[in-house]
Homo-oligomer: A and B are copies of this chain.
Amino acid sequence: MNDVVSLKARRDRALGAGAALFYETPLHIVRGEGAYLFDADGRRYVDMYNNVPCVGHANPKVAEAMARQQATLNTHSRYLHEGVIDFAERLAALHGPQIESVVFSCSGTEANEVALRMARFATGRRGIVCTNATYHGNSELVGALTHVGSRQPETAEIHAFPFPESYRPIEDGLSEQALCDAYLERLADAIARFEASRVGFAALIVCSIFANEGLPRVPAGFMARAAEMARSAGGLVIADEVQAGYCRTGRWWGYEVTGFTPDIVVTGKPMGNGLPLAATAASRALVETFRTKTRYFNTFASSPLQAAVGMAVLDEIEDKALGENAAAVGAPLKAALTQRKGVWEAIGDVRGEGLFIGVEMVKDDPARAPDAPLAVAMANRLKNKGFLTSNAGAFANVVKIRPPLVFSHGDGEAFLAAFDQAVDELQAERRHG
């Protein structure tokens, strides 16, 4: 504890107070292995949160590939390097034929910057439509899309539409089909307002599974029709797969889950198992227009190091069938959590696919109002029991479960036991508080 207090004070000065830390009492983590993290006292935590170390904390094959390449060659991209080309080809081949070429960068923010600018150059228009509870990154351009946590005012160049969901629909009492139509109308309106202005419509950008929105159950067919609508209006469709992609849902890409075909795909977090690595993939024509207009160069990107590590991560995902693991381990975990809905009325909904599950915490009132403090309390209590989650969603009331893809059935069962204990304790406190 002293250790944590003194480290926190040093950190507040070195990084500035306000640099976010998880949990009421922050964790001092010193080691990782597979799906586990260990604190300075040697206590083991099951990591239910981190999607970056997708093939496992301290994965030895990734560490080896990283060490080997760094000890051989690591330069910028203005020399030919076969590894970089191999990696770009392999990455593009993971999508449909519309995706041919790749622009590498160092973060999801940078990759989303590239995507937005690519769409603007290609269309000659500037209007971007996003959802009203999204987050795509931290630069000035990409940060202007942030609507989760701080509902920004609409700008001349950014319009938000309500994210599609069935749990708190924009209109009550509609059939799924009618609800889908209602959301599409709102999207059409956001696009139309660009068309009415001189800004014009350039692109629709969404996280393919609406992760920051809280993993909503999307009305069937919504995304296919939304993509069609965007393209009919002359815009491009950007799939932000930073959270959704790389087998997180049990499928390679989130757009397979929600059922649409993107023009531009953005990937990031899990690509390098912790090495800064991101990519924007699109047709060759889109990429070449972008390159011609910007002469884009990114010092650390498209490097032999990024390529070697990126290939090792893809090898591990394939060799260990981690997509299949995400589906096989995630499905029973979600089913078991769904059963808990009946046990405690505060568990309003359980959603998600594969190893990305959200448990929505609600108040005990007819409106089932979001209960963010309860989600925070759950995360803190689970952490004390050795399981690391966090809270997220449009109302910050969703317990976010997103472990490394090497997470096992046994880990899931241990988590369920801790979850049930946490629920029991919180229920007991409420009865006696």
A contact residues vs B (CB 8 Å cutoff): 4, 7-8, 10-11, 13-22, 26-32, 37, 50, 52-53, 57-58, 60, 62-64, 66-67, 70-82, 84-85, 88-89, 92, 100-110, 113, 116-117, 138-141, 143, 149, 268-269, 272-276, 284, 287-288, 290-292, 294-303, 305
Q: A148 to B314, alpha carbons, bound, how many Å?
A: 39
| A79 with B113: CB separation less than 8 A | no
Bound CA span A382–B82, Å: 24
Q: How far is the CA of A100 from the CA of B23 in the complex (A)?
A: 26
Is B300 a contact partner of A22 (Cβ separation < 8 A)? no
Are A102 and B297 within 8 A (Cβ)? no
Cβ of A14: which chain B residues have Cβ within 8 Å of it?
Answer: 84-85, 88-89, 92, 101-102
A-B contact pairs, 22 of them (CB 8 A): A7-B82, A14-B85, A14-B101, A15-B84, A15-B88, A17-B288, A19-B77, A19-B302, A21-B79, A22-B78, A29-B79, A37-B75, A37-B79, A52-B299, A67-B70, A106-B106, A106-B107, A106-B110, A108-B299, A139-B141, A274-B305, A275-B275
Chain A interface SS verdict (over half): mixed
Whether B291 lies near A107 (C-beta < 8 A) is no
Distance of A351 from chain B, by nearest CB (Å): 23
Please give, as numbers and ranges, the residues of chain B lying within 8 Å of A110 by CB-CB distance. 106-107, 109-110, 139
Least CB distance from A238 to B in Å reads 15
On whether the beta carbons of B300 and A107 are closer than 8 Å, the reply is yes
Nearest-neighbour CB distance to chain B for A278, whole angstroms, equals 9
Chain B residues near A284: list those with CB within 8 A. Answer: 13, 16
| CB pair A66 B70 closer than 8 Å | yes
Pick from B7, B288, B298: contact of A107, CB below 8 A.
B298
Q: Are A298 and B109 in contact (CB-based, < 8 A)? A: yes
Chain B contacts of A30 at CB under 8 A?
72-73, 81
> What's the least CB distance linking A243 to chain B, in Å?
10
Q: B138 touching A141 by the CB < 8 A rule?
A: no
CB distance from A49 to the nearest CB of B (A): 9
Instruction: Please name the residue on chain B nearest to A105 by beta carbon.
Output: B107
The 9 A-B residue pairs whose C-beta atoms are closest, nearest first, are A18-B291, A67-B67, A16-B287, A74-B274, A14-B88, A276-B276, A276-B300, A63-B71, A106-B106
Bound-state CA distance A58–B66 (Å) is 12
Known: A31-B72, A106-B276, A138-B297. 16 other contacts (CB 8 A): A10-B89, A11-B84, A14-B102, A16-B288, A18-B295, A19-B291, A28-B80, A63-B70, A106-B110, A107-B298, A107-B299, A113-B139, A113-B140, A139-B140, A275-B300, A276-B276
Q: Inside 8 A of A106's CB, which chain B residues have their CB?
A: 106-107, 110, 276, 300
- A50 to B, closest residue via Cβ: B75
Q: Which of A105, A138, A141 has the most C-beta atoms of chain B within 10 angstroms of its own C-beta?
A: A138
Which residues of the other chain, B, contact A88 by a CB distance below 8 angstroms? Answer: 14-15
Give the chain B neighbours of A89 by CB distance below 8 A.
Answer: 10, 14
Q: Is the CB of A140 within 8 A of B138?
A: no
CB–CB B62/A15 < 8 A: no
Q: Smallest CB–CB gap between A98 and chain B, Å?
A: 14
Which of chain B's residues has its CB closest to A16's CB? B287
Q: By the criterion CB–CB under 8 Å, are B140 and A274 in contact?
A: no
* Contact between B73 and A275, CB atoms less than 8 A apart: no
Indicate the member of A29, A78, A105, A301 with the most B CB atoms within 10 Å: A78
Chain B residues contacting A17 (CB-CB under 8 Å) are 288, 291
A287 to B17, CA, bound (A): 8
Give the complex CA separation of A139 and B19 in angstroms: 23
B71 touches A15 (CB 8 A): no
Which of A73, A149, A269, A298 has most chain B Cβ within 10 Å? A73
Most central of A4, A100, A101, A305 by chain B CB within 10 Å: A101
Q: Are B37 and A80 in contact (CB under 8 A)?
A: no
